A and B are shown apart, each in its own frame.
Chain A
């Protein structure tokens, strides 16, 4: 399977199954496109035939010289021999092996507080309460969660714990106590905890900052962008905007971490489809690690992204990608989470096939110690998998998540981006289709666009165009 597209003046050819990315000139773009349309299952043998060559020469007789077309065909053949064009999906047979592997739990999302001091309008946690009651996690429950993680992590050394909410700073002492407990336990069990904190910043102060910089591997700072955008969706419970209070605190924190190991993370909605301006607002505020994600909402929500919004969103991603290339060349680059792509050192096939790990490697823990496949399933009783006292009591739920892959989803079969999103978010699939083995189509469209932009940026920065 080959995906061809043009972006920002680059002709890009992605050989989906090998992951090989080629930047090509117009002749090669046309020739490869012709060959792919003619026979997506071309082989070295079929490319070598006189019939293939004569069809190509005939097709482009009016446009290109025979010499040029023959040169491109020879190059295509060379790349096909090298396993970088017209490759087959050989991983489907491998998926059984991947799925049979004994998984260990390596990450927990600790719902330290099911309560929040903001009332964000799009919150999937419903102002922190997750379809349930307000509650704070006790140290005892948190301690059992860390014990559960250690006990179920096998030989995995690096263990991840995200302090999540609601707003975790509303239960700050427990966060600190759990970090201290984790540091003590990691020595005893030869583990290493990577703690992260996701916060809205309302309660961020010097003391929190100092602790976070000492102990947290990553911090996710929630802010949506421009003041009017942020304050429309992220007000306090009394309706007042949160921007003015939070921005200086986040700026100080980001600087104090040397602009590393954090993300300023926003959500865009159909009320700010011009979200590239929000990204650039973050840049203007001095932030260098930026993530802005599309909201996931019900069709009836006025802020939810609709299919008709996609052209606007694609245009914004294009603007952003182009801007990032320009800024990088000028030595003023920044990171945009969804455009990060590592073409050389990216994840292995095993990781790409097994997806995000929810329900198997990654679990969410509620304030009272219940276990769910991930933070987004919390409060949906049919996904309650067990608790920190008894462990996993419904292994069939983990089995269901383990069985989910790009090969269990029909829509992924013909999608060029399947090895980048690994089948997409299972919680989103369930939200829209009541099964984890489907995909949230609007999200897929955006993911494909982001992958295209991310690859274009690499093409632009590696070299000038051909």
Chain B
């Protein structure tokens, strides 16, 4: 598209059915401990 460039092909709703396996890391175990940083994690299935 001339005026718009979309950065990602995946959308959140695509993960509704497939997600939820729970194998991903608990967010506070990485480096935060005082905030909540769910969005910066990576899906374990896509590693």
Name A's B-contacting residues (CB within 8 A): 13, 17-25, 27-28, 68, 71-72, 75-76, 78-79, 83-84, 87, 90-91, 94, 98, 101, 103-104, 106-107, 109, 124, 156-158, 160, 162, 194, 196, 198, 218, 220, 263, 265, 267, 291, 293-296, 337-352, 355-358, 361-362, 374-376, 417, 419-426, 428, 443, 447, 451, 454, 458-459, 462-463, 466
Q: Which residues of B lie under 8 Å from residue A447 when comparing CB positions?
A: 35-36
Q: How far is the CA of A106 from the CA of B23 in the complex (A)?
A: 9
Q: Which residues of A lie under 8 Å from residue B4 when comparing CB positions?
A: 13, 22-25, 28, 72, 75-76, 79, 466
B6 touches A84 (CB 8 A): yes
For residue A141, give the distance in angstroms from its CB to the closest CB of chain B: 20
Nearest B-chain residue to A363, judged by Cβ:
B26
- Per DSSP, chain A at the interface is mixed
Q: Which residues of A lie under 8 Å from residue B39 when comparing CB positions?
A: 341, 346-347, 352, 417, 419-422, 451
For residue B7, give the distance in angstroms from its CB to the closest CB of chain A: 4
For residue B44, give the distance in angstroms from its CB to the closest CB of chain A: 8
- Per DSSP, chain B at the interface is loop
What are 17 A-to-B residue pairs whose CB atoms are below 8 Å?
Answer: A27-B3, A79-B6, A158-B44, A198-B33, A263-B30, A291-B32, A341-B39, A346-B40, A346-B41, A352-B39, A356-B38, A357-B27, A357-B28, A417-B39, A419-B12, A424-B36, A458-B7
B26 touches A362 (CB 8 A): yes
A106 touches B26 (CB 8 A): yes
Q: How many A-B residue pairs have CB under 8 A?
A: 222
Q: How far is the CA of A198 from the CA of B37 in the complex (A)?
A: 17
Further contacts, 14 of them, CB under 8 A, given A28-B3, A294-B34, A422-B36: A17-B13, A19-B12, A27-B3, A71-B2, A103-B22, A337-B37, A338-B37, A342-B41, A350-B20, A355-B38, A356-B36, A357-B28, A375-B28, A376-B33
For residue B9, give the distance in angstroms from its CB to the closest CB of chain A: 7
Nearest A-chain residue to B39, judged by Cβ:
A420
Nearest A-chain residue to B6, judged by Cβ:
A22
Please tell me which one of the listed residues A355, A358, A462 contacts residue B7 in the complex, with CB atoms under 8 A apart: A462
Nearest A-chain residue to B25, judged by Cβ:
A160
Please tell me which one of the listed residues B3, B7, B28, B30 contacts residue A72 in the complex, with CB atoms under 8 A apart: B3
The verdict on A21 contacting B15 (CB below 8 Å), with A361-B22, A422-B36 known, is: no
The verdict on A160 contacting B16 (CB below 8 Å), with A337-B40, A344-B9, A361-B22 known, is: no
Q: Which of B9, B30, B38, B46 neighbours the largest number of chain A CB atoms within 10 Å of its CB? A: B38
Q: Which of A267, A341, A347, A422 neighbours the largest number of chain B CB atoms within 10 Å of its CB? A: A347
A293 touches B12 (CB 8 A): no
For residue B37, give the distance in angstroms from its CB to the closest CB of chain A: 7
A421 touches B38 (CB 8 A): yes
Please tell me which one of the listed residues A23, A106, A345, A419 contacts residue B22 in the complex, with CB atoms under 8 A apart: A106
Q: How far is the CA of A27 from the CA of B3 in the complex (A)?
A: 7
A220 touches B31 (CB 8 A): yes
For residue A250, give the distance in angstroms from its CB to the closest CB of chain B: 14
Q: Which residues of A lie under 8 Å from residue B35 when comparing CB positions?
A: 293-294, 338, 421, 424-425, 428, 443, 447
B26 touches A357 (CB 8 A): yes
Q: Which residues of B lie under 8 Å from residue A346 when comparing CB positions?
A: 39-43
Q: Which residues of B lie under 8 Å from residue A466 when comparing CB positions?
A: 3-5
Q: How far is the CA of A339 from the CA of B18 in the complex (A)?
A: 26
A361 touches B7 (CB 8 A): no
A420 touches B19 (CB 8 A): no
The verdict on A342 contacting B40 (CB below 8 Å), with A104-B22, A107-B29, A459-B7 known, is: yes
Q: Which residues of B lie under 8 Å from residue A21 when comparing CB positions?
A: 6-8
For residue A349, give the distance in angstroms from its CB to the closest CB of chain B: 5
Q: Which of B8, B35, B44 neighbours the largest number of chain A CB atoms within 10 Å of its CB? A: B35
A24 touches B41 (CB 8 A): no
A25 touches B29 (CB 8 A): no
Q: How far is the CA of A363 from the CA of B46 in the complex (A)?
A: 26
For residue A186, give the distance in angstroms from its CB to the closest CB of chain B: 15
Q: How far is the CA of A297 from the CA of B43 in the complex (A)?
A: 32
Q: How far is the CA of A157 from the CA of B22 in the complex (A)?
A: 10
For residue A401, give the distance in angstroms from its CB to the closest CB of chain B: 13
Q: How far is the CA of A356 from the CA of B28 in the complex (A)?
A: 7
For residue B29, give the distance in angstroms from its CB to the closest CB of chain A: 5
The verdict on A350 contacting B23 (CB below 8 Å), with A356-B36, A425-B34 known, is: no
Q: Which residues of A lie under 8 Å from residue B22 when comparing CB positions?
A: 103-104, 106, 156, 361
